Amino acid sequence: MIYLDNAATTRVLPEVFEAMRPWFCDCYANPSGIYRFASEAKAAVENARRQVARVLGVSEREIYFTGGGSESDNWALKAAAEASRSKGNHIITTRIEHHAILHTCQWLEKQGWDVTYLEVDGAGRVDPAAVRDAIRPDTILISVMTANNEIGTIEPIGEIGEIARSRGILFHTDAVQAFGHIPIPVQEWKVDMLSASGHKFHGPKGAGFLYVRKGIPLPPLIHGGSQERNRRAGTTNVPGIVGMGKAAEICLDHMEEWKKKQEELRDYMIQRIKEEIPCCELNGEKERRLPNNINMSFRFVEGESLLIMLDSRGVAASAGSACTSGSLDPSHVLLAIGCSHERAQSSLRMTLSEETTRDEAEETIRILKESVERLRSMSPLYNKYMEKTN
Ligand SMILES: *Cc1c(COP(=O)(O)O)cnc(C)c1O
């Protein structure tokens, strides 16, 4: 199998798995215990907190462990809303956020919050000036993702952070696709809250974190025990957190090298596909793009059919986000950047990892070319188009 769906989830690296192993059957203590056995587990969790904090250049006291990206997003928005209720009830976000943000915003709207969903340009970029213009006296929170999960566009987080900070408005970013893959200088970018998830950077599923800048109030989302400084109840997921910490450390050590490697392979694949397959277009921006993201539309081809054909030949890809595939609705992200329904329905997302090889890329291009040709040969629209152009 050629796995090109790393935006959906990544492989747990063997070193990460080895780091997790002792915390299942050997040192399985609840870190809240007061015996030595427990303090070992507690120390491992605190070490992971430092490993994660180091990637962002922040203090480990600003990291709160969660059950993943969706939980971190829910927590950031609901906590900010609750803590700022007396100041106002307006939230600014964008049309291209992950559903963990969009559906939380819709829920908040039902609770009486007012949400502005900013438009983006044709490349999926949020205009910082549009953020500034959307600010009202009652705006309490701005949430803009660091990088988009479908088209890979990297947002101008530093510029938006500057605006938010100067107006005294909380700024959250969903960095689930970006953390561990590109540098995120949160202090320089003036980010107040940031969400990330272990399984998107070679850690295990079910472990994530929320960064919350010192001094920002953080009401709990999950009530119960006193874990995570009384903010997030529930017995600590020691193996998951240890694995996520190890993965963060590895990603930090290799960031430049892996980023460059993937960018080269990404650009090579886009170039070759454009040369070899007629009537295809890149979705999103060419430059400010996640190192591993390729999202292209193939005219006269149904994305779902293409996926099935690729799968039958051993290539695992996606037609949008994992959450939207299975439904027939076109991707909200592709519609937001101005794609027609047709172009959105004919899209294919391939997301690489640093483990993707040149041979796999060549094989994928060959299979993709044959699959697109086959599907088009069955399309009356394509045949009519060819008759007209010839
Ligand atoms: C995957 C993803 C999430 C959700 O993370 P989980 O850990 O799967 O809950 C949120 N936001 C973005 C941008 C994502 O890519």
- Is the per-residue pLDDT at 322 higher than 80? no
| 264 belongs to a structural domain | yes
Protein residue with least CA distance to atom 3, ligand 1: 69
| 66 belongs to a structural domain | yes
Tokens standing for residue 374: 């086959």
> How remote is the CA of residue 277 from the centroid of ligand 1, in Å?
32
Looking at the structure, tell me whether residues 243 and 373 fall in a common domain. no
What does the pLDDT look like over 36-75, one tens digit per residue?
999 999 999 999 999 999 999 999 999 999 999 999 999 9
Looking at the structure, tell me whether residues 31 and 165 fall in a common domain. yes
CA distance 246 to 212: 21
Whether the CB of 295 sits within 6 Å of ligand 1: no
Domain end call among 229, 251, 273: 251
CATH code for position 26: 3.40.640.10
**Cβ atoms of 46 and 241 closer than 8 Å:** no
Instruction: Name 220's Cβ contacts closer than 8 Å, sequence gap at least 6.
Output: 79, 230, 231, 232, 233
> How remote is the CA of residue 318 from the centroid of ligand 1, in Å?
15
**Cβ atoms of 341 and 330 closer than 8 Å:** yes
Q: Known catalytic residue: 105? A: no
Nearest to 301 by CA among 228, 374, 203: 374
| 90 belongs to a structural domain | yes
Looking at the structure, tell me whether residues 232 and 291 fall in a common domain. no
- Is the per-residue pLDDT at 327 higher than 70? no
Nearest to 70 by CA among 200, 201, 224, 258: 200
- Is the per-residue pLDDT at 234 higher than 80? yes
Domain end call among 231, 251, 271: 251
How many domains does the chain divide into? 2
- Is the per-residue pLDDT at 17 higher than 60? yes
Amino acid at position 21, single letter:
R
Looking at the structure, tell me whether residues 270 and 128 fall in a common domain. no
CA distance 173 to 193: 6
Looking at the structure, tell me whether residues 150 and 291 fall in a common domain. no
What percentage of residues in the chain have a pLDDT greater than 90? Answer: 93
Looking at the structure, tell me whether residues 246 and 281 fall in a common domain. no
For a ligand 1 pocket test, name from 65, 70, 95 the mutation site with the most ligand atoms within 8 angstroms of its C-beta: 70
> How remote is the CA of residue 176 from the centroid of ligand 1, in Å?
6
Of ligand 1's listed atoms, the one at least distance from the Cα of 198 is 7
Whether the CB of 174 sits within 6 Å of ligand 1: yes
Nearest to 98 by CA among 123, 73, 76: 73
| Mean pLDDT on 241-266 | 98
What does the pLDDT look like over 199-215, one tens digit per residue?
999 999 999 999 999 99
Looking at the structure, tell me whether residues 266 and 225 fall in a common domain. no
Looking at residue 197, its pLDDT comes to 98
**Cβ atoms of 260 and 182 closer than 8 Å:** no
Looking at the structure, tell me whether residues 138 and 220 fall in a common domain. yes
> How remote is the CA of residue 88 from the centroid of ligand 1, in Å?
28
Looking at residue 323, its pLDDT comes to 47
Looking at the structure, tell me whether residues 313 and 227 fall in a common domain. no
Amino acid at position 146, single letter:
T
Domain end call among 251, 286, 309: 251
- Is the per-residue pLDDT at 321 higher than 90? no
| 139 belongs to a structural domain | yes
Length of the chain counted residue by residue: 390
CA distance 96 to 152: 11
Range of the domain at 379: 255-389
Looking at the structure, tell me whether residues 304 and 216 fall in a common domain. no
Count of other CB atoms within 10 angstroms of residue 214: 8
Looking at residue 390, its pLDDT comes to 76
| 99 belongs to a structural domain | yes
Q: How many helices (H) and strands (E) does the chain have?
A: 14, 12
CATH code for position 372: 3.90.1150.10
Nearest to 7 by CA among 189, 257, 194, 262: 262
- Is the per-residue pLDDT at 135 higher than 60? yes
| 3 belongs to a structural domain | no
